[in-house]
């Protein structure tokens, strides 16, 4: 369910944040679900608990999860925002690439075809 690329230049903790967000988007993690504990997830992925902790902190910052002491960590109900953010950043990325491709002489139709 969660794939980490240890060779990648993007930090593991960022990848983990992204992957967890994806799980929520996909519906594999639903609002009020309990997240796996830091140690548990760290063991499962074979990474350092500190790294998982950092990811959880990041997610809590973004109000995506909420840690309740002695109880655990839970998903909050923010799916729509995540989706919105995701869409916007994706659109931006595509926009930028499309513009660069246009500078290289490719028309919108060319791009469209090569993608399909």
Partner DNA sequence: GTGGTCTAGACCACA
Partner DNA sequence: GTGGTCTAGACCACG
Which residues lie near DNA (CB under 7 A)? 11-14, 35, 37-40, 47-51, 53-54, 56-57, 67-73
One residue of 65, 66, 75, 107 binding a copy of itself per CB under 8 A = 66
| Cβ atoms of 38 and 48 closer than 8 Å | no
Q: How far apart are CA 109 and CA 112, in angstroms?
A: 5
State yes or no: residue 1 binds a copy of itself (CB under 8 A): no
Nearer Cβ to DNA (57/98): 57
| Cβ atoms of 29 and 17 closer than 8 Å | no
Q: How far is the CB of 75 from a copy of itself (least distance, A)?
A: 15
Q: How far is the CB of 1 from DNA (least distance, A)?
A: 17
Q: How far is the CB of 94 from DNA (least distance, A)?
A: 24
State yes or no: residue 71 binds a copy of itself (CB under 8 A): yes
Work out the number of other CB atoms within 10 angstroms of the CB of residue 15.
19
- Left if phi > 0, otherwise alpha if psi is -120 to 50, otherwise beta: which for 39? alpha
State yes or no: residue 103 binds a copy of itself (CB under 8 A): yes
- With both helix axes pointing from N to C terminus, report the angle between 79-103 and 108-115 in degrees, rounded to the nearest 10: 120
């Amino acid at each position: 369910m969660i794939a980490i690329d240890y060779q990648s230049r993007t930090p593991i903790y960022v990848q983990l944040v992204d992957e967890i967000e994806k799980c929520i988007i996909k519906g594999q993690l639903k609002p009020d679900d309990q997240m796996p504990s830091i140690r548990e997830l760290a063991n499962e992925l074979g990474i350092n608990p500190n790294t998982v902790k950092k990811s959880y902190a990041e997610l809590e910052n973004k109000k995506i999860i909420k840690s309740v002491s002695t109880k655990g960590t839970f998903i909050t109900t923010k799916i729509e925002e995540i989706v919105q953010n995701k869409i916007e950043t994706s659109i931006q990325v595509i926009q930028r690439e499309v513009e660069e491709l246009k500078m290289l002489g490719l028309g919108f139709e060319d791009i469209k075809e090569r993608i399909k």
